[in-house]
Amino acid sequence: MSIVAISQTLGSLGDEVGRELARTLSYEFADREIIFQAAERFGEGVTELQHATEEKPTLWERFTEAKEPYLTDVEAIIWEMAARDNVVLVGRGAPFLLRAVPYALRVRVTAPESLRAKRLENQEGLATDAARDIVRQSDRDRAARVKFLYQVGWDNALLYDLVLNTERLAVTEGVRMIQHALQNQRFQATSESRAQVKDLSLTASAKAALLADPRTGQLVLSLTCEKGYLSVGGKVEREELRQVVEEIVRAIPGVTGVENATVVAPRLPASAV
């Protein structure tokens, strides 16, 4: 059982490689599906979620936590899919988010800029200069987003286990190379590593659920999970809010128990400060 996380440049055929790999292995495949599931689950807009994972961060985002709810929603879906194993995830920061998963195979799919622009030109019927500008802008935006979210260089080859250049490899050849890499024992899940990913998935789901609820979205809480047992810490202003926190996280499928370590600390009136 394995996880393949693919990072692709625009026009590199990374999506095609991922889809063909998933078809060949009978794995689940997700690219934009990640965005759609997050939007449906947490009631957010597809455009906002796509911006949070792909486009260049705005100046407002750089100085606030405006990105957090959208990013948390997407990450919860990625972790949920990863916990199911046998999945190919393309984009949405999956290779960087899953750095903590030792058996996840992280793949970079790219090609020279000129070739990628030519593919886009042919596919979309664009002028040569326009296609080149779009490819360059996409590269800049995605690199800036990854740097902003995960503090790593998007094009750093050392972040990946395998780098494929589709100028020299057809889609089917790239798929065969990934399949060969997956035969290595290090990319096979164990019962222990699957349990760890499940706990990380439950933690991400709990964080997203709490942020999505207007009663708890502004709370600063800490979350950990071990063998399905979720622990929540932090401060709330009222006892009923403490109970709401517990109800939300206890309702998450897969949670076997909850330790509610939140503390009721009423806010002092301004005159008492």
- Give the model's confidence band at 228: pLDDT under 50 very low, under 70 low, under 90 confident, else very high: very high
- Asked whether residue 231 is domain-assigned, the answer is yes
- Asked whether residue 208 is assigned to any structural domain, the reply reads no
Quote the domain boundaries for residue 10.
Answer: 3-187
Q: Are residues 183 and 218 in the same domain?
A: no
Residue 206: HSE in the Cβ half-sphere, 13 Å Cα cutoff: 33
- 79: Cβ–Cβ under 8 A, 6 or more apart, which residues? 97, 197, 200, 201, 203, 204, 205
Structure token digits, residue 109:
């799919």
The domain tally of the chain equals 2
State whether 218 and 92 are in the same domain. Answer: no
Q: Can you give the pTM of this predicted structure?
A: 0.84
Tell me whether residue 182 is in a domain.
yes
Q: What is the pLDDT of residues 110-148, one digit of tens each?
A: 999 999 999 999 989 989 999 999 999 999 988 988 888
Q: Are 16 and 6 in contact (CB under 8 A)?
A: no
The letter for the amino acid at 115 is L
**Are 11 and 92 in the same domain?**
yes
Query: Distance (Å, rounded) from C-alpha 58 to C-alpha 45?
Result: 17
Q: Are residues 220 and 183 in the same domain?
A: no
Has residue 268 been placed in a domain? Answer: yes
Confidence check: pLDDT of 270 > 60: no
Q: How far apart are CA 216 and CA 17, in angstroms?
A: 41
Confidence of residue 273 (pLDDT cuts 50, 70, 90): very low
Domain-embedded: residue 249: yes
Asked whether residue 3 carries a pLDDT value surpassing 70, the answer given is yes
Q: Are residues 48 and 157 in the same domain?
A: yes
| Same domain assignment for residues 122 and 15 | yes
User: Domain boundary at 141, 172, 187, which?
Assistant: 187
Domain of 53, CATH number, reads 3.40.50.300
Residue for token pair 């349990």: 195
Are residues 148 and 222 both part of a single domain?
no
Q: What is the pLDDT of residues 168-224, one digit of tens each?
A: 999 999 999 999 999 999 999 989 999 999 999 999 999 999 988 899 988 889 999
The answer on 231 and 183 residing in a single domain is no
Does a structural domain hold residue 200? no
Are residues 70 and 167 both part of a single domain?
yes
Give the separation between CA 172 and CA 72, rounded to whole angstroms: 34
pLDDT of amino acid 48: 67
**170, 187, 204: which is the final residue of a domain?**
187
Does 121 share its domain with 244?
Answer: no
Q: Kindly state whether residue 199 falls inside one of the protein's structural domains.
A: no
- CATH number (domain holding residue 267): 3.30.1340.30
Query: Do residues 11 and 142 share a domain?
Result: yes
Residue 110 backbone phi and psi in degrees, to 5: -150, 180
pLDDT-derived band at 150, boundaries 50, 70, 90? confident
CA distance 166 to 35: 26
Residues 202/226, Cβ–Cβ less than 8 Å = no
Question: Which phi and psi (to 5°) does residue 155 adopt?
Answer: -100, 15
Are both 116 and 221 inside the same structural domain? no
Q: Is 203 a member of any domain?
A: no
